[in-house]
C-alpha cells in the first residue's frame, strides 16, 4: 500500500473515530437527560452505545496510528496484540448483538403492542443483556484458549482474528453466530415492519386511548418505511465487504489486496459511528405513530358526569378502542365502517360515546 493510501486510511479512521465518539456521547447524553427514554430496555441501548464508544476510543485510533507508523508492527504473540484483538472482537460482537436485541424490542413493541408489556419485561431485558455479554466474552476468549488465534494484520493495521484455513472453524462459528445471524435477523425484522407500515398506510389507522383518538396519515408510515430500508442498507454496506473478505481469506488461504482489506476494516468500524444515528432513525417510527392528526372528540353519554374523565377503564367497552391506563392502541379505519366520514360515530351498549371529526382538536367532555 502506498503512502498516499495509508494517509487516506488514517484520515478515514480518524474521522470515523471522531464521529463514533461524539455520536455515542450525544446518544448517552440524550438518554440520561430524557426520562421518557429510560425504559426497561435502556440497558441494551447503553450496551451497544458504550461498545461503539469504546471502539472509537481504542481500536479505531490504534488502526490510524499503525497506518502512519508503518512499517513498524506489533508481534502477534505479544500480550499487547492479543489483548487488543480480544477487545476488538469483544466490542464488535457486543455492539452488533445489543443492537439486534434492541431491534427485536422495537419489533415486539410495534407488532405485538397489546401484549408487549407482558412479553418484554424488565427481568427478561436484564437476562438478555447478561446472556449477550456472556456470549461475547466466551466468543472473544476462544482464541486465547487455542481455538482460533489473534494476529497483527499488516493490511488492516489492526490486531484481529487470523483468517487462515487453520482457523476456519473458529472464523465460521464467529461469522455465522456472531455477525451474519444478527444482521439477517435485523434486516428481516425491518423488512416485516416495512410490510406492516405499508399495509397500514393503505388501510388507514387511528391511534386511540381513553381520552381521544389520532388519525395517522399514510405519509407517516411511508416515511418510516424509508427509514427502515435505509437502516438495512447501511448495515449491509458496512458489513458485507468485511464478511466477504474474511471468508475469502479463510477458505482460499490467500490474502486479499491490501486496499480491499483496509477498506472493509474501515467500513465495519464506521458502523460504530452510524449505530447512534440508526437508533435515532428507528425511533422516528414511534414518533410517526404518535404524530397523527387529532381527529375525534369524546362526549360523555347521557346520565354520566364529567367525573369519568380520569376513569382508566371508562372507554374500555367502546368497540374498536382498547385502552389500559394511558397506553395508546391502534385501530384500523377499515375495521370501523364510519371512520372515513367527517361526522361518523362508534356506538356501544351505553350509547353514543365517540364522535369522529377529522382534523378537529380533541376537547374531552366539552
Mean pLDDT by 10 residues, the chain (366 residues): 84 92 88 75 85 91 86 75 92 91 84 82 89 94 92 88 91 92 90 77 61 59 70 87 93 89 92 80 52 42 43 35 39 40 38 39 39
* Confidence (pLDDT) at 208: 61
Q: What pLDDT does residue 325 have?
A: 38
Task: Choose among 278, 246, 227: nearest CA to 48.
Answer: 278
Amino acid at each position: 500500500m502506498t503512502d498516499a493510501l495509508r494517509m487516506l486510511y488514517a484520515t478515514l479512521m480518524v474521522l470515523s473515530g471522531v464521529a463514533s465518539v461524539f455520536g455515542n456521547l450525544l446518544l448517552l447524553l440524550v438518554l440520561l437527560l430524557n426520562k421518557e427514554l429510560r425504559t426497561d430496555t435502556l440497558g441494551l441501548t447503553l450496551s451497544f452505545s458504550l461498545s461503539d464508544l469504546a471502539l472509537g476510543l481504542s481500536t479505531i485510533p490504534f488502526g490510524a496510528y499503525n497506518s502512519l507508523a508503518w512499517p513498524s508492527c506489533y508481534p502477534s504473540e505479544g500480550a499487547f496484540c492479543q489483548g487488543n484483538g480480544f477487545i476488538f472482537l469483544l466490542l464488535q460482537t457486543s455492539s452488533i448483538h445489543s443492537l439486534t436485541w434492541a431491534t427485536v424490542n422495537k419489533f415486539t413493541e410495534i407488532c405485538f403492542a397489546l401484549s408487549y408489556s407482558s412479553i418484554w419485561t424488565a427481568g427478561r431485558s436484564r437476562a438478555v443483556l447478561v446472556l449477550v455479554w456472556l456470549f461475547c466474552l466466551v466468543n472473544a476468549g476462544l482464541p486465547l484458549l487455542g481455538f482460533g488465534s489473534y494476529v497483527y494484520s499488516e493490511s488492516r493495521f489492526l490486531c484481529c482474528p487470523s483468517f487462515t484455513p487453520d482457523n476456519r472453524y473458529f472464523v465460521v462459528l464467529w461469522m455465522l453466530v456472531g455477525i451474519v445471524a444478527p444482521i439477517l435477523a435485523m434486516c428481516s425484522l425491518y423488512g416485516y415492519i416495512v410490510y406492516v407500515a405499508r399495509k397500514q398506510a393503505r388501510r388507514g389507522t387511528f391511534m386511540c386511548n381513553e381520552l381521544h383518538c389520532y388519525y395517522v396519515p399514510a405519509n407517516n408510515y411511508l416515511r418510516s418505511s424509508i427509514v427502515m430500508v435505509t437502516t438495512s442498507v447501511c448495515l449491509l454496506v458496512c458489513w458485507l465487504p468485511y464478511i466477504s473478505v474474511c471468508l475469502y481469506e479463510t477458505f482460499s488461504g490467500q490474502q486479499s489486496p491490501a486496499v480491499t482489506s483496509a477498506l472493509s476494516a474501515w467500513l465495519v468500524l464506521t458502523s460504530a459511528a452510524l449505530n447512534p444515528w440508526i437508533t435515532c432513525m428507528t425511533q422516528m417510527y414511534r414518533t410517526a405513530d404518535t404524530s397523527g392528526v387529532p381527529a375525534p372528540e369524546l362526549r360523555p353519554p347521557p346520565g354520566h358526569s364529567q367525573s369519568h374523565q380520569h376513569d382508566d377503564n371508562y372507554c374500555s367497552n367502546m368497540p374498536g378502542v382498547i385502552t389500559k391506563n394511558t397506553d395508546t392502541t391502534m385501530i384500523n379505519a377499515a375495521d370501523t365502517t364510519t371512520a372515513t366520514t367527517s361526522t361518523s360515530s362508534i356506538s356501544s351498549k351505553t350509547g353514543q360515546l365517540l364522535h369522529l371529526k377529522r382534523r378537529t382538536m380533541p376537547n374531552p367532555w366539552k
